[in-house]
Amino acid sequence: MTPPDRIPAGWLEEAPAQGAFAGGLPRVDELAQRWSEADTETMLAGMIHDEFPGQIALVSSFGAEAAVLLHMVAGIEPRLPIIFLDTGKLFGETLRYRDRLVADLGLSNVRSIKPDAARLDALDPDGVLWFGNPDMCCHIRKVEPLARALTGFDAWITGRKGFHGGERDGLQRIERNHDDDRIKINPLALWQRADIDAYFDRHALPRHPLEAEGFLSIGCMPRPDRVAPGEHPRAGRWRGSEKTECGSHLTPNRKWNMGGMDGI
C-alpha cells in the first residue's frame, strides 16, 4: 500500500486542480518504451504514482470484467478517482454490483456521473432514443458526461481488451485519446479471457450477477443480448446492428449516424 505522504490531496476533491495537460505531456511512444517491459500492475502503479500523480482517473463500467482493474487499483491507490457513468438505463444488478465492489475493495473516490437533465429533456424526453438513434443516445448519456467528468485530468485508465475484437483488435497499452489528446492507459489490452478468469479465481472476486445468465458485456438495459458459446464477449452488444462501441473510444475515421443532430 502506498504511504499517505505520496497521495496527492487533490484526489479527495470533487475535481483535480488545473494540471499539466495544457503544457506538454510525455509522448505516447516515450511512455510505451519506458514501460514496455513492466507487468500490468507495475505499469498501472507507475502511471498513477509516477507519470500522472493526482491527474489520472479510472473509468469503470462495473461490468462483467471490471473487478480485475478495480481490485488492482484498490491495492495501488484506493483513493484514485473512479468515474462511473450512470446513464439512467443501467441494470439494477450493475448498480448493486458497483456498491458491493466499492465496499469490498475499500474504494473511497467513486464518482457516479449522470447525463445532463436538460439534454435528456430536449433530445430524449420519452426515454426511447436508444431505439431510433442509439448513437445519439450513447452520445448524450455517456460521451458528453464522460467529457465533463474528465475535465482537469491528463490521463485516464480503461478496462478495454484486444481480445474483445472489433474496434479493440490490436489495442495498445498506451495511446493518445483522439478527441482531446489525453493519454489513455489500457492496462489489460494484451490480456486474454483465460487471464481474466484466472485473476477472478486467484483473488476470489465476485462476478457480476448477470454473467451467469450469459451476459458477458452488459452496458445499458435496452441493448445487450446473451452471448452464445464461441462468440466474442461483446457480440451481444447492439445485436443485429453495425454498432459496436458507445462512442467514448471510437477512432476518428468512424462516422456516427447522429440522425441529423450533429452538433446539437
Annotated catalytic residues are 246
End-to-end CA distance of the chain: 46
Residue with cell 489489460: 188
DSSP per-residue letters across 43-102? HHHHIIIIISTTSEEEE----TTTHHHHHHHHHH-TTS-EEEE--S-B-HHHHHHHHHHH
Question: Rounded to whole angstroms, how far apart are CA atoms 209 and 194?
Answer: 19
Burial class (CB in 10 A: 0-12, 13-18, 19+), 81: buried
Three-state secondary structure call for residue 3: coil
Are 87 and 81 in contact by the 8 Å Cβ rule? The answer is no
| CA-based nearest residue to 83, from 106, 52, 53, 114 | 114
Question: Rounded to whole angstroms, how far apart are CA atoms 174 and 111?
Answer: 24
Number of helices and strands in the chain (H, E) = 9, 6
Are 211 and 97 in contact by the 8 Å Cβ rule? The answer is no
Are 195 and 105 in contact by the 8 Å Cβ rule? The answer is no
